[in-house]
Amino acid sequence: MTNVESKFAGFSTALLGNREEAVKDGIACLLSTERNYVLRKGQTTVDLEKAKLDKDALSTISYKMLDLLKKGP
């Protein structure tokens, strides 16, 4: 469950329980959630690390294929 899903679950529970103050807090919390978080220098995410690994693997495969083509049959 993402942070937004978790916050929305809390908001929904407050709404169903007719808890006005909790609903207001839930709305404020959802509105303040930043979905386009900017990473500071040196920080990373799982997606960025996966992309780096994929790029490295593709590069390695490409160079090996090029070497094979240069050597011929």
pLDDT tens by residue, 44-62: 888 888 899 999 999 999 9
Cβ(15)–Cβ(23) below 8 Å: yes
pLDDT value for 55: 93
Q: What is residue 57's predicted lDDT score, i.e. its pLDDT? A: 92
- Residue 41: the pLDDT is 86
Burial zone of 10 (CB within 10 Å; 0-12 exposed, 13-18 middle, 19+ buried): middle
Q: Tell me what pLDDT residue 54 has.
A: 93
Task: For the chain, list residues with pLDDT below 70.
Answer: 1, 34-37, 73
